[in-house]
Amino acid sequence: MGVSAREMKHGAVIDEFDVAAPSYDRLVGANPGYHRHLRMSARRLGLPRDGAGLRVLDLGCGTGASTAALARVLPAAEIVGVDASAGMLAAARAKRWPPNVRFVHSRAEDLTSEHTGGRVDAVFAAYLLRNCPDPDQVLRGIRGLAKPGARVALHEYSVDGPAARAVWSAVCWGVVIPAGRVFTGRTELYRYLWRSVLQFDPPAGLRARLEAAGYDTVRAVPLPGWQRGITHTFLARAGGGA
């Protein structure tokens, strides 16, 4: 019997991301709309044009795809990318970045305002929360790092209904898992991806989780294409914002 999705989240998933890091960009690059959807979610933060004077936290930045999306949408913002996987972070750091972008190696649960250089104006977290052992702890931690009323965008798998679940399973077993074997020689991370998405909150559940953690103006906006009903942008404000 393989390692369960719950067990993977307590360390093994970080090890698998380390292994996958050298080929990760090629794999996600084969996903139609992957980078465009990240930019779409970054724009949905609704921050002032170019982001001048703002500090934006990119939590779970991986190899820097979400960081690049933020840098494209908010070229003048200070962007702090954070990831728990040393391998993924090394791949991100190896790319060329403007001086307003920097990276920090940390688990989301361990992050402090000392890492970020102060409280942040916005938080972007792509495909992060589902991988955390305690999502509620992470959401509370984000509130502690954010200024009151800071804007938050979770770009996350959250499957909405039986049809979307069927599409997700078909794509995983027909494309993602075989591609993972080709690119890395392993399938553990990609089988975990399939299971963890199906076990994670549906949109109504994640909205309720955000509200229970003290966020307001919470809403879910679907992403287009084959991922409609599978991936959403969850938008909120860190408690108390107007």
Q: Identity (one letter) of the amino acid at 38?
A: L
Residue 123 has pLDDT above 60, yes or no: yes
Q: Identity (one letter) of the amino acid at 239?
A: G
User: pLDDT confidence of 8, banded at 50, 70, 90?
Assistant: low
Tell me the C-alpha distance between 51 and 72, whole Å: 10
Please give the model's pTM, rounded to 2 decimal places.
Answer: 0.93
pLDDT at residue number 135:
96
User: pLDDT confidence of 12, banded at 50, 70, 90?
Assistant: confident
Tell me the C-alpha distance between 132 and 60, whole Å: 10
CA atoms within 13 A on the CB side of 132: 25
pLDDT at residue number 30:
84
pLDDT at residue number 71:
98
Q: What is the mean pLDDT of the chain?
A: 93
Mean pLDDT of 178-206: 94
Tell me the C-alpha distance between 134 and 136, whole Å: 6
pLDDT at residue number 227:
93
In tens, the pLDDT along 68-81 reads: 999 999 999 999 99
Q: Which of 127-136, 177-186, 224-233 has the lowest mean pLDDT?
A: 177-186
Domains in the chain: boundaries:
32-159+201-238
Q: Which CATH superfamily is domain 32-159+201-238 in?
A: Vaccinia Virus protein VP39 (3.40.50.150)
